[in-house]
Amino acid sequence: MTLKNLPAAPEASPRAGMYCDISPRALERWNPGLYAQDDSGDNTITIYDPIGYDMWGDGVTAKRIAGALRSIGSGDVQVNINSPGGDVFEGLAIYNLLREHKGKVTVKVMGLAASAASFIAMAGDEIQIGRAAFFMIHNAWVMAMGNRNDLREIADWLEPFDQTIADIYQARTGIEIAGIQSDMDDETWIGGREAVDQGWADALLSSDAVQETANAHQDSKLAARKMDVAMAKAGVPRSQRRALMQAYKSDTPSAVDTGMPGATETEADTANAYAAFQKAVANLTQTPENTNV
């Protein structure tokens, strides 16, 4: 498999009235505690967060990946992935960066490569996946607002991007394009062994290549992301969701942000984080401008 066989992705950003978000099902199945056993190599890039900026100021962006590739130069690179996806357009930009890299790109899927992370993974000259890991593919998942004409225009505008992503999958796997498109329409999960058998990956990772780490800070962020998605589905405007999450972040005890706590400390931190979230909700919903939301 050579990068020359992979189509380039178009550059774009969301239109007015729409923005990208993480699929709730991908977020539900993502375990952020899965990492490579060794991420210390100078030529290693990690993708262990959602794609694009999130409410924490985290997330994997094209700017970050471009900086990492500049540091590596033209040498070989290893990309370790465990991500629920996110911003499709940021993901396409990252895919292009890896596709155009002059050295060999080895992708290792530690836990989940969902949505935007799945087609980023396709840029690898060699793709390895954990036996218990998954790809998840689907059509571009966005939040949009407007009247029926606006929504039709957005749907039509998104269609070429879905076609490009399908072309990327087809070029990498050799599967018929109609089958790829059907799998994207249905939202399809592809496990490690199946991924190798069908051409989504070249080999399984060794059993000792992946480790799982308990981290209260990651648990807190994952809970916040799930709350954010739930509020989005309930129709809470994005500006108010972001204000709520910032209040939650500032009120969350600092103990959540550090160390590797034991079970008792983790339970206490989770309780404190939830109490802080409830306080933030109360403060936000009591403000006059939000009484009619």
Residues 200-255: tens digit of each pLDDT: 999 999 988 999 886 555 666 666 666 666 666 566 666 676 677 666 666 554 43
Q: Which positions are catalytic?
A: 115, 138
User: Which positions ≥6 away from 153 have C-beta within 8 Å?
Assistant: none
> Which residue in the block uniquely carries the two structure tokens 């990956």?
201
Packing angle, helices 177-186 and 148-173, rounded to 10: 130
Other Cβ atoms closer than 10 A to 65: 23
**How many Å apart are CA 208 and CA 256, to the nearest integer?**
28
> Which residue in the block uniquely carries the two structure tokens 């939202």?
187
Residue 146 confidence (pLDDT): 85
Other Cβ atoms closer than 10 A to 34: 20
Residue 276 confidence (pLDDT): 56
3-class SS at 46? strand
**How many Å apart are CA 7 and CA 160, to the nearest integer?**
13
Q: Assign domain 3-212 to a CATH class.
A: alpha beta
Per-residue pLDDT tens over the stretch 154-201:
889 899 999 999 999 999 999 999 999 999 999 999 999 999 999 999
CB contact at 8 A, 121 and 109:
yes
Domain boundaries, the chain: 3-212, 216-290
Confidence tier at 285 by pLDDT (50, 70, 90): very low
* Six-digit token string for 150: 């606006």
pLDDT over 70 (residue 73): yes
